[in-house]
Amino acid sequence: MAKISLHGDACQTNGDLPSTGAAAPAFTLTGHDLSDVTLASFSGKKKLLNIIPSIDTPTCALSTRKFNETAAKRDDAVVLIVSADLPFAQSRFCAAENTESVRTLSTIRSSFANDYGVNIVDGPLANLTARAVVVIDENDQVIYTELVSEIGDEPNYDAAIAALS
Q: Which active-site residues does the annotation give?
A: 60
Rounded CA-CA distance 165/110 in Å is 29
Please tell me the distance from the alpha carbon of residue 78 to that of residue 59, in angstroms, as a whole number: 20
Evaluate whether 37 touches 68 at the Cβ level (below 8 Å). no
Whether 29 and 114 have beta carbons less than 8 Å apart is answered as: no
Neighbours of 38 (CB within 10 A): 11
Relative to beta strand 36-38, strand 28-30 is: antiparallel
